[in-house]
Structure 1
Amino acid sequence: MYTQNRAPKNYKTMGSFSSNFLRLLSQTKLLTSHVNKGQHKQALSLFHQIHSTLSLSLDPFVFPLALKSCAALNSPQLGATIHAYTYKAAFASNPFVACALVDMYGKCVSLTYARQLFDETPERNVVVWNAMISLYARENDIGSALELFRAMNVAVAPNSSTFNAIIAGLAETEDGFSKAVSCYREMGKMGLRPNLITVLALLRACIGKADLNLIEQIHGYSIRNDIDPDPQLRSGLIEAYGRCGCLEKAHQVFVSMRERDVVAWSSLISVYALHGQAGPALEVFKQMEKANVKPDGITFLGVLKACSHAGLADEAQMYFSRMRVRYGVEANSDHYACLIDVLSRAGRLHQAYDVIRKMPVKVTAKAWGALLASCRTYGEVELAEIAGRALFEVEPENAANFVILARIYASNGRFEEAERLRREMIKRGMKSAPGSSWVVHQD
């Protein structure tokens, strides 16, 4: 009787364990799906349900998913609570959990706290190192990222993700373009293959260096390795070629795309606008509308810049109105600056000033500067004084504003006011910078 009574009890226990395990597996898959889709509130709600209802111990890979959602929602308190759970479950030293904790604290609390946690982590694999390096690069602390990268080489071999973070960080700095390219070369020497993230980061460095040869190398590499079809890369190539003045190649990349999203259309419009090609830029915009691709704020910024370069004041006003009325795109400071620039260039100074007075967003130095520069062209002293005073407050260290207003005064015979501004510049220790230009030569 004893043996007969034990068998059903064991089967029941095993069945309960199996049922819990299958539930955990199913809900972990659902949790992963929520996180990958950016459904972070649903993910955290599900994590709470898993943690509170299942009697089975949680898998260590459940915690990084929940911590990723905490970072996305900027929820440090909830992240700290989950951190406490990892200690209770003895998972805090797990490299993948440690990586997620470092990332969460770096994004939601501070780099200092994240670095402290990183230093205290006993088992640091390449993923943990990459998390801390990426945080530094993300916050533009490229010096600390490079320092940690050098220390990492002693402890753990870097991988492609490590180099991607460093290249991306360097590409965002004014003097880091050449260093980013050197880092890319070093990556190749270590036998690591560049991927989509690598080439996207490297393209930004190429634009900064105006390195057409390297852009072509990246383009060729992407074709050979089947990265080329990616629409994000194609749009990046359009911008890179366009900014280097190769408008024909930029157009060829655009034409070769089977599906063109708003980024691709906007990229081509922007590069035409950059080079003063208003006709082609506006024609591309018309084609975009015919293709039923909804333009966004970046699209209209390119359109307005094209109008500004060509002096198309009426067209600029029309597109500015269409942006808000037809497409529901709210104008930001850059859009207003473009409109003010084109109106000012056309001599509609009072109309431009009226736009400034009615702007629902902050008036930037670009907007006031456009008005001031055109006041000099058209000899408008009264508005020049208004724009000048505003600029002295917005950017008090910019000597160019003092110089322009002084020259406007002098051109109108108001030499005392001009001299007063020059004395003010001397008092502030300001010097007008000499003009300069640069040309990139390609063999």
Structure 2
Amino acid sequence: MQASLALALDPHVFSLVLKSCAAIHRPQLGTAIHAHITKSSFLSNPFVACALVDMYGKCVSILPARQLFDEIPQRNVVVWNAMISLYTHSNRVPDALKLLEVMDIAPNVSTYNSIIAGLAGSDDGSFKGIAFYRQMREMGLKPTVVTLLALLPACVGVVALNLIKEIHSYAVRNDIDSHPQLSSGLVEAYGRCGCLLNAHNVFWDMKERDVVAWSSIISAYALHGKARNALEIFQQMELAKVQPDGITFLGVLKACSHAGLADEALDYFARMRTDYGMEASSDHYSCLVDVLSRAGRLYEAYQVIREMPVKVTAKAWGALLGACRIYGELELAEIAGKALSEIEPDNPANYVLLAKIYASQGRHEEAERMRSEMKERGVQAAPGSSWVTYQD
């Protein structure tokens, strides 16, 4: 088009080619196009401006994107949303909220979608995310599938079962309950918030079940200690010719862990590679260590840790240490405790647990030494607390 004098380069062309630059990460080309846009006086076009902000944020950094945003003469809601979305995707939710406060134009559903998703993915942001959803509804804005998908993790974060049911009802009334990603999200949300029956019903009402849906229902049953049900569903998944992924096997291994099915866990762990060609991650190894540890096979669990081809996490050592207390295994407890003190030296639970193991063995001097070490490092055990959500 550039070589042809007969074809004009209009704003629509520039916005599309900038989206392509962002998609395949071509910052130099995007910058060159920016220069062309400036010469052509198209920067005042809000769609071109939006595409430029998005390109800089995804291909360069947030700083030049914000500088460009501040220089745009006419900013419609699409341009504001582009900058807010960049902040939330970069885990800079406070900056996104500050920008929302100074918007000189009414926010729309996309604005709230970005804010809710950002808050739901941040520490202690679930209540705020739900509050923004309520605010959006009060403004008369109609939630979309994207809104509901952003809201579900916030509901899970605070176990807001009533709101999950509200989302489900809204989806049914507006004929979007058949959306596969939303259905899978509802299965996971119901399962994690203690409503296994609803998770079961949503799953079996789905017309098409992808790997996410199957993994969600397996994890739901595993979470509720229904190991045999979870493993039966995994078999049905295989019969349905749906290829499991790493998350599926995490659910399977957790199901084995809750039921103490150590041999089954070893078999499924081996099948990941032999049947499906998948390499186990740190999380898979941690689950396997947990299964063996709970079953009292502590030295097998320790052998798994020693032979792990991936980084040993605190989860694996923590599972072993916890089991050592149950089974009174002091030698391995000391090894696990030492490893944990190096991985997470500020976690009080590791010191307290090892001190209890020493005390249970009558070795009170070592127990006191652990408490002294906590004081020397300035590590304090958090006081116990609880909260209750009352639901109608």
Q: Could you state the TM-score of these two structures normalised by the residue count of structure 1?
A: 0.85
Partner of 1:139: 90
1:54, distance to aligned residue in structure 2 (A): 5.9
1:311, distance to aligned residue in structure 2 (A): 0.9
1:66, distance to aligned residue in structure 2 (A): 2.2
Distance 2:276 2:196 in 1: 28
2:133 to 184, 187, 195: 184
The one-letter amino acid paired with 1:285 is F
Distance 2:91 2:242 in 1: 34
Corresponding residue SS for 1:51: coil
Q: Specify whether residues 274 and 438 from structure 1 end up closer, same or farther in structure 2 by C-alpha distance, changes over 3 A only.
A: farther
Distance 1:437 1:304 in 2: 29
The one-letter amino acid paired with 1:406 is A
Percent of pairs with identical residues: 68
Deviations 1:341-369 (A, max 9, x none): 00111111111111111111111110110
1:218 to 161, 164, 167: 167
Structure 2 unaligned blocks of 5 or more: none
Distance 1:149 1:95 in 2: 18
Partner of 1:58: 9
Give yes or no for the alignment of 1:122 onto 2:73.
Answer: yes
1:414, distance to aligned residue in structure 2 (A): 3.0
Coordinate RMSD, CA, aligned: 1.6
Give yes or no for the alignment of 1:309 onto 2:296.
Answer: no
1:190, distance to aligned residue in structure 2 (A): 2.1
In the TM superposition, what are the counterparts of 1:26-425 in structure 2 within 5 Å?
Answer: 50-52=1-3, 56-152=7-103, 155-425=104-374
1:437, distance to aligned residue in structure 2 (A): 4.2
Deviations 1:231-278 (A, max 9, x none): 001111111111121111111111111111111111101111111111
Deviates more, 1:102-111 or 1:87-96: 87-96
1:56, distance to aligned residue in structure 2 (A): 2.7
1:146, distance to aligned residue in structure 2 (A): 1.4
1:175, distance to aligned residue in structure 2 (A): 2.4
Distance 1:226 1:54 in 2: 49
The one-letter amino acid paired with 1:178 is F
Distance 2:31 2:245 in 1: 38
1:53, distance to aligned residue in structure 2 (A): 5.3
The one-letter amino acid paired with 2:338 is R
Distance 1:360 1:93 in 2: 54
Larger Rg: 1
Deviates more, 1:272-281 or 1:313-322: 272-281
The one-letter amino acid paired with 1:127 is V
Q: Specify whether residues 314 and 356 from structure 1 end up closer, same or farther in structure 2 by C-alpha distance, changes over 3 A only.
A: same
1:55, distance to aligned residue in structure 2 (A): 5.2
Structure 1 unaligned blocks of 5 or more: 1-49
Distance 1:439 1:287 in 2: 37
The one-letter amino acid paired with 2:61 is S
Distance 1:119 1:414 in 2: 65
Corresponding residue SS for 2:322: helix
Distance 2:29 2:292 in 1: 51
1:74, distance to aligned residue in structure 2 (A): 2.8
Distance 2:363 2:139 in 1: 67
How many pairs were matched up? 392
Partner of 1:19: none
